[in-house]
Amino acid sequence: LLSFFSCTTTSQQEKVSSDIPDFYLNPPQADDAIYGVGSAKMSKLDTSRKMAVSRAREDIAFQVSATIKSAITDYAQEAGVDNSNQVISFVETISKQITNTKLQGAKTEDVYVGKDGTVYALVVYPVNSFLADAEDEFIRNEDAAFAEFKAGEAVSRLEKELEDNPPASDPVDE
């Protein structure tokens, strides 16, 4: 009877894992691309696909850039007399991840629909697209910094001019 249950459990585990596409559990690795995976099971196939692709893009965004804030609270208290001590222990972990990444050029490479209706998506983002986006952002930031610098110079010249030649008003005729 025990061997029957162990065989049943094994075949159920194989059935579950065999219905998940290999790309989801083992995303491709490449030097020239970043791969992201996502899954979703919604009431409509179209919504499931959109969510799975969106989550795959989010996966890429977190690989490219993420701000992570975390906190750990670890509390322990021991109280009692002699051999009747009581220990209270509490651990809390909180983590928040935020990303703000532009993914121009990300493409859906594969979509798989599982037997249970779960949609799995694989999205690829070429590294050259990432580098181009980063370069554009750097150029924009450099241009903005230069414009800010020039504006600051103009304000300084104006202040100097006003300091050396304060404005005077004409006398008012009454």
Q: What is the pLDDT of residue 56?
A: 94
Place of tokens 């006398």: 171
Confidence at residue 36, expressed as pLDDT on a 0 to 100 scale: 94
Q: What is the pLDDT of residue 127?
A: 82
Distance CA 57, CA 22 (A): 18
| Residues in Cβ contact with 88 at an 8 Å cutoff, skipping those fewer than 6 apart | 75, 76, 77, 78, 79
Give the model's pLDDT for residue 65.
77
CA distance linking residue 10 with residue 17, whole number of Å: 11
For residue 113, what pLDDT is reported? 96
CB-based burial label for 113 (10 Å; 0-12, 13-18, 19+): middle
pLDDT for res 97: 72
Beta strands 86-98 and 33-40: pairing type? unpaired
d(CA 30, CA 127): 9
Question: How much is the pLDDT for 92?
Answer: 81
Contact 134, 103 (CB under 8 A): no
pTM of the model: 0.53
Taking the CA of residue 129 as centre, how many other CA atoms within 13 Å lie in the half-sphere pointing to its CB? 16
Q: What is the pLDDT of residue 1?
A: 45
Q: Which residues contact 106 (CB under 8 A, 6 or more apart)?
A: 36, 57, 60, 123, 124, 125, 129
Mean pLDDT per 10-residue segment, the chain (174 residues): 49 61 94 92 94 92 77 81 80 77 85 96 84 55 63 69 64 62
